[in-house]
Amino acid sequence: MLKKVIGGLAVLFILIQFIRPNQTNPATDAQVDFRTVTNPPEEIKGLLKVACYDCHSNETVYPWYSQIAPVSWWLSSHIREGREHLNFSTYGLLPADDQAKIMEEISEVIQENEMPLDSYTWPHPKAKLSSAQKNALIQWAGNQGGNPANGPEEKEKEED
- Interacting residue ranges for ligand HEC, rule: CB under 6 A: 51-52, 54-56, 78, 81-82, 85-86, 105-106, 109-110, 115-117, 120
The span from the CA of 70 to the CA of 67, in Å, is 9
Least distance in Å: CB of 160 to ligand HEC?
25
Least distance in Å: CB of 77 to ligand HEC?
8
Q: Measure the CA dihedral 21/88/44/36, to 10°.
A: 130
Nearer residue to ligand HEC within complex by CB, 35 or 56: 56
Least distance in Å: CB of 122 to ligand HEC?
10
Residue 141 CB-half CA count within 13 A = 27
Least distance in Å: CB of 12 to ligand HEC?
26
The span from the CA of 53 to the CA of 55, in Å, is 5
Nearer residue to ligand HEC within complex by CB, 80 or 155: 80
Amino acid in position 38: T
Total Cβ atoms within 10 A of residue 78: 15
Which H or E run contains 118?
helix 118-121
